[in-house]
Amino acid sequence: MLSWTNSRRIGHRLVSATLRCRQCSRPAGDLVGFADRSLGEARFLPVDTGYMPVNLAGELRCARCTGQLFLDDIEALGKNVPLDEAGGIPFEQVIVGDREPAGTSAA
Ligand SMILES: [Zn+2]
C-alpha cells in the first residue's frame, strides 16, 4: 500500500507528491496531505480526470497501463498551509474507487 515515505523525518508537515506510474512514468496527479497522517486523508489533484487511478485488488494502478503507482518528488510545503486550500478530491475516494464525476460527464 502507498504511504508517505520518510514521514517520521518530515513530521507533521504538509507535503505534496506526484503519483506516478512505474511502468509508463506518466503522472496520475498530485497528492497533498500531512506526512504523519494516512494517505486516505490527503487530497488528490488529478492531471486528467479521464485517467483516474484504478483500484485493482486493493492496489492503486495506472489507468493507462495498470502499472504500479508510486509517490514521486515528495516535497514539504509550508507548515501552516490549510489542507482545504489544496483543492482536489479526498484521496480516500480514489482509493476505494468511488468515482464521483466532478463536473465532467462520464463519456
Ligand atoms: Zn502507466
Predicted TM-score (pTM) of this structure: 0.82
pLDDT tens digits, 8-56? 677 888 999 999 999 999 999 999 999 888 999 999 999 999 999 999 9
How far does residue 31's CA lie from ligand 1's centre (Å)?
17
How far does residue 12's CA lie from ligand 1's centre (Å)?
31
How far does residue 92's CA lie from ligand 1's centre (Å)?
20
Delimit the domains of the chain by residue range. 7-95
Grid coordinates standing for 97?
A: 474507487
How far does residue 51's CA lie from ligand 1's centre (Å)?
10
CA distance 100 to 76: 29
Parallel/antiparallel/unpaired status of strands 59-61 and 54-56: antiparallel
